[in-house]
Each structure stands twice: as structure tokens, then as C-alpha cells.
Amino acid sequence: MEKLRFRQIHLDFHTSPDIPGIGAKFDKKHWQENLKKAHVDSITCFSSCHHGWSYHPTKVGKMHPELSFNLLREQMDACKEIDVNVPVYLTAGVNNVASDMHPEWRSINPEGRYLGWTPNPLTPGFHKMCFNTPYLDYLCDMIRETAQMFPEADGIFLDIINQGQCCCPWCMKSMDKGGFDAEKPEDREAHARKVLLNYYKKTTEAAKAHDSSMRIFHNSGHIQCGDTEILKYFSHLELESLPTGGWGYDHYPMSAAYTRKLDLDFLGMTGKFHTTWGEFGGFKHPNALRYECAAMLAQGSKCSIGDQLHPCGKLDESTYEIIGAAYSEVEAKEPWCDDVESRAEVAILSNTAVNKLEGRGSGESAGEVGACRMLLESHIHFDMLDTEMSFDGYKVIVLADDIKLDERMQNRLELFMRNGGKLIMSGASGLNQDGTGFVFDLGAEYHGISEFDPDFILPEEDFLPDFVHTPFVMYLKSQRIKVTDGMSLGKVYDPYFNRSYKHFCSHQHTPYKLDDSGFDCGVINGSILYFAHPVFSIYRGYGIVALKEYVAKAIKAFIGNDMQVLTNLPSQGRITLFEQEAQSRYVMHLLYANTISRGGALDLSGGNARASYVLEVIEELNPCCNVAASVKLPRKIKRITLEPQGVELPFEYDGDRVNITLDSFTCHQMLAMHY
């Protein structure tokens, strides 16, 4: 199977039946010119949209009533002439044409309301369909028809793949027949999972009915950490992560840190929109797309940019000029970004996988998100692991805040430490299943959970933030420990009392007592670094700079000379390290951009715009100057080049560390370290 291409477009085309002239302005030459100038090498085009209309003749569904020709065929042929791939999109989880024909196929929640994006008949939006109804047969027929009509398609993309706790007549009947108790949420959830797995099986068979090598991707925005059961139905993965659409700029690195450990080629997917999907006339600054695509490359993935085609069928020229600014750079960088392997020596054990959480993307646990952000901002390259992945090759594993260990995982981690590995734990992580004590020797006595919320800490001198030398607040409860034979990270200071109607002080929490509580805020003992507070969840919630400095100093002291990279990059800088073994080189990515919070809540009392919100924006790309890095690598480095410039960079060895200095770089710089 051909590898995924690097410069892809996901071209949405969800088009109302009340708009005339669908595709009327499609022009092959204009289409090809815009794709060429944007350096696009693959574009996903529509067979059917969320409205339910098909964009080609069909015997199964309904062709858009205002379309007079085979638009998808014209798009396909135009692309193939210039060697641009065309995966084909079909709506799956929502379909308003199908729901109008068969309202009984819609998903119904346990309260008797339709599931989906429209809470009532007067709200515009798309209708969620149940995969346990005859709708699944209808969908599979559409997939088979499309795959047969367009055998040269470079894949089938199926969208909105989820199944809620449905109580439609078909689900009620099959729950009763299958021994599920429909009155129990856990049984409804288990039944929904069974229905979803059947969806994956049937639709994948339909997509491959005429060509067993046909690519297929089922989009639900992400791959849940640990949900590997479904991966046999995927040819590749596409990670939806629009920074301005609510995900933010730290979401994609978290998601990619897990996905690159799976044995599947993958894309990152951002959007050209100022906000998110479905925004006509919304334009992201070219510098933002330059950074976002560079960030995808720096995480080991290919790139996809979301666009929305105007109903007239003509590509927007401004959009493809903006995309071209990013994709021209991606094209030049591809040789150093293909067939790469992450060389992270630190891994986060996924809270989502261990605790079997449900959510939209990698990092739904506050502890998991906070740990990822802390490591990103501390310039520590990391991978994300589920419970079945190997620990081989890692020096440090992070258990963030709420990972209680069963016997199997305890044994695996003990073996990891016996082989020289180290653990970083925090909060309730490392406690036994009943929460009565730690499964590892922390070098400290355990005294349960604190009664105070919040409390305060004063770290030891080596771990103090640079700008604080008095107790600072910790917003969530700590585990109570007293260090015995380990090294204390510092002391906990209790407040005079918890805030209540009986007694309170000032606007927020009560101040700390002048004497410490006698309990420690953390400990280093041999192969274990432990923080008594759920420090990563606190960071996720509050973003405390003093807390980050405290944790980062403790981690760097704990790992010591084994730190893979030491650098003076600012906190918004990012570093990742990959290896291209066939080319005998490591590739280190340096990234830097200033994100700005813009926008805010605005009362929209009419019209049809979405409610406004705060979003992260990139406008200027300022140079990052006088960047120093010290890198420890297992292979002897012979030379270093800046890529794609091909310029030799001087370096020197200091013991087993390679020291390099860059006068400056802007946005993204790759360093090829040849051995």
C-alpha cells in the first residue's frame, strides 16, 4: 500500500438543498492551478455530505437536487491528471436525507429525545443515525456503490463514527434479545459498543468489496488511548485537532505522542478556518498554518488542512495561497520527516487507558493533559503508552495523579525499575487498589489524604522556583507523607482552617500557618520521584508558573545527566527527536511561536453565526535567538546539518553530550545529526 502523502486537503462540502447552482463554477484548469500553487498532493472529495446528498449519480442515495452533473468524477479526473490523490468522503453517523425518509432510524436517548446535534425540531443541524437500524445497510450500500463507481479512489473516509446509549426500537429489541438490561447505563453502554464494532466490520467489508487494498479511515476525531480493538479496521489514522476550534495548540502533540506508537501511518488534521469547520470566509493567518504544519512534522506525522468548498464548486484563491505558504515548506522538509522513529526516553502511562476513560482525544484526564503540557514546556520529548505497550527503550515513565496499580502493572513497573528505569508519580498514583498505601517503597510513611483544600508548599532550595521563596498555594488535596530515608522535596504548610460558612478569611482560601505541617510535599528515593499533590492536574487547571518550575527542577535533578536534551528555549519552544536509521541520522526539531489569546464571549441575539469564544491565535512568527542545546545520544555524531538548508553547524562534545548553538531560527528548524 502506498504511504500517505504529506500535503493533504480535507475538502468539506456539506451543502444545503436550497442553494442553487451546485458545482456550476467548477473549472478543471482553475482547480488544478490552485492545487499546484498550494503544493497539494492529496485532496479528500465528497461522495455524500451530512445533509445526506450525493455529488454524483446514485441508485442508493439521492443526488443533490441542484447538481446537474457528476461533480466527484470531474474532481477526480482533474486531480489524477496532475498526480494528486483523491480519497473519497461519505457521511456516516449523521445523514439528514436518510433521517427525513426514515425518522425511525435516528438514535434516541434514554429520555426519549433524539440524539445528535439538534435538541429539537426548531434547531438547525444534522441528525444522528443509529447503526443498529436498517440505516447501516443503507450506508453500506452507499459505500459499495461509491467504491465501485470510483475504483481509482485513494481511500474511503467515513465520518462521525460513534454510537451513544440508544433506545430506539431496534436497540431496545436487541438489548432484550442479547441479555442486556436496558435500564442499566452500563448495559446500554456495552450494547452500544457491540453495535459500534458491528458497524466497523460491515462498513470496512463494504469499502473493500471491490478492492481489498482500498484504504479506509473511520473518523471520530481521535483514537482513544488503549482502544486498539478497532485498529484492524483502519488502514491509517487522521488526527483531527484544529487549534482554533477548541483543541488549542497543545492538543496535537498529546494525541500524536500516542498515535506514533501504533503501527499505522498517520496525518495531523488542522483547518484553514479562523475558528472551526463550516466557516465560510474565515481565514487563518499564513504564519499559523506554517507553524501548525511544522508541528505535525515535528511529531512524526504527515499533514492535512481542512477547507470547505463553496457550493459553486470553485476553490477559494485566498485559501490556497495561504495553504501554499505552509505546504511549500513542508515539501522541502519531507526527506527528513519520512520513515522516522521517535527516540523519546520518557513516556507517560496514559490515564485514559489505565482508567478506561471516555473522551474526545488523547489527554482527557486532567493529570494526563497537565503532564503533557509540563513536559512540552520543559522541552522533554515524550511518548504516550497504553497498558499493553512495551516499556523497552524508556528511561523514565510518568504516572500522573490518579493511576492506581493492579498486580500486573505493578509487576511490570518493578521489572522496569530493576532494569534501571525510573518512575515519576504524583497524587494518588502508585497507591494500591484500596488506597491504603503505596505499592512501592517511597522512603516515606503514608498518612492518608489531607483534610485541607487547598494547602501550601515550600520546596527545598534546589527545587524552589526562581522567583518565589515563601510557601505557595496548591489548589488540590495532597497525600500525607513523612519522609523517612528518602530525600524530601520540601514541606507542606496547612491553612488555619478550610473555608466554610462557619469561618472564612478574605475572598478565597485561608492563609497558611507559619509553622509547617510536618508533612512533606514530595520525595526522591532511589528510582522513584513522588509528588504528594496531583501536580499535573493542578497545572492543567491553573497553569501556575511557580508550580511548573518546582516540578521541572525536581524532574531534572531526578533524571540528572541522563536528560536527553537540555536547552535554553523559552517555554513556548518545543523539541522532539526522531531517528531515520536508513539514513544514519537523528533529526531534532526545534519549534517556536507566540500564541495570543483573542476573542471572547459575545452575545449573539440573531443571525446564524456560532457563539464566540476565546481562542489561541498565531500571527507573527518572531525569531528565537541564541538557542543552546546539549544532547545526549547513544551514537557518536560525526556532523550536524541544518535542514532543509543543508548548512553545516559547528558542534562540540563535552563528555558524552553534544553541545550546539544556533544564532536564531524562525518557526521551525530541523537539525540532522549524522552518525
Q: Which residue, of 290, 320, 338, is where some domain finishes?
A: 338
Which residues contact residue 592 at a Cβ distance below 8 angstroms, ignoring those fewer than 6 apart? 569, 570, 572, 573, 574, 622, 624, 665, 666, 667
Q: Do the Cβ atoms of 160 and 48 come closer than 8 Å?
A: no
CATH number at residue 322: 3.20.20.80
Cell (9 digits) for 371: 503532564
Averaged pLDDT for residues 414-440? 95
Q: Which residue, of 338, 367, 382, is where some domain finishes?
A: 338
Q: Are residues 556 and 578 in the same domain?
A: no
pLDDT bin (cut points 50, 70, 90) of residue 600 is confident
CATH number at residue 593: 2.60.40.1180
pLDDT of residue 593 exceeding 90: yes
pLDDT of residue 607 exceeding 60: no
Q: Are residues 526 and 584 in the same domain?
A: no
* Digit-coded pLDDT (tens) for 250-261: 999 999 999 999
**Residue 49 maps to a domain:** yes
pLDDT bin (cut points 50, 70, 90) of residue 173 is very high
Q: Do the Cβ atoms of 378 and 398 come closer than 8 Å?
A: no
Domain count, the chain: 3
Averaged pLDDT for residues 233-245? 96
Q: Are residues 595 and 554 in the same domain?
A: no
pLDDT of residue 439 exceeding 90: yes
Cβ atoms < 10 Å from Cβ of 308: 22
Q: Do the Cβ atoms of 493 and 456 come closer than 8 Å?
A: yes
The pLDDT value recorded for residue 604 is 63
The pLDDT value recorded for residue 606 is 53
Q: Are residues 639 and 620 in the same domain?
A: yes
The pLDDT value recorded for residue 87 is 98
**Residue 127 maps to a domain:** no
Dist CA 185 CA 166 (whole Å): 10
Q: Are residues 320 and 442 in the same domain?
A: no
| Coil/strand/helix, residue 384 | strand
**Residue 175 maps to a domain:** no
**Residue 181 maps to a domain:** no
Q: Are residues 253 and 378 in the same domain?
A: no
**Residue 550 maps to a domain:** yes
Reading phi first (left if > 0) and then psi (alpha if -120 to 50, else beta), residue 667 is in left
Dist CA 245 CA 654 (whole Å): 45
Q: Do the Cβ atoms of 517 and 484 come closer than 8 Å?
A: no
Q: Are residues 365 and 239 in the same domain?
A: no
**Full residue range of the structural domain in which residue 539 is found:** 344-561
**Residue 177 maps to a domain:** no
Q: Are residues 524 and 581 in the same domain?
A: no
The pLDDT value recorded for residue 152 is 97
pLDDT of residue 480 exceeding 60: yes
pLDDT bin (cut points 50, 70, 90) of residue 613 is confident
Averaged pLDDT for residues 366-387? 96
Q: Are residues 497 and 349 in the same domain?
A: yes
Averaged pLDDT for residues 391-420? 96
Query: What are residue 1's DSSP bridge partners?
Result: none
Q: Are residues 579 and 443 in the same domain?
A: no
**Residue 605 maps to a domain:** yes
Q: Are residues 327 and 384 in the same domain?
A: no
SS3 content of the chain, % helix, strand, coil (to 5): 30, 25, 45
Q: Which residue, of 532, 561, 590, is where some domain finishes?
A: 561
Q: Which of 102, 12, 99 is nearest to 49 (CA)?
A: 12
Dist CA 319 CA 305 (whole Å): 10
* Kind and range of the H or E run holding 579: strand 574-580
pLDDT of residue 478 exceeding 80: yes
Dist CA 42 CA 4 (whole Å): 9
Considering the chain, what percentage of its residues have pLDDT values greater than 70?
98
pLDDT bin (cut points 50, 70, 90) of residue 362 is very low
Q: Are residues 234 and 383 in the same domain?
A: no
User: In the predicted model, what is the mean pLDDT of the chain?
Assistant: 95
**Residue 290 maps to a domain:** yes
CATH number at residue 488: 3.40.50.880
Instruction: Check residue 239 and report its DSSP letter.
Output: E
Model pTM?
0.95
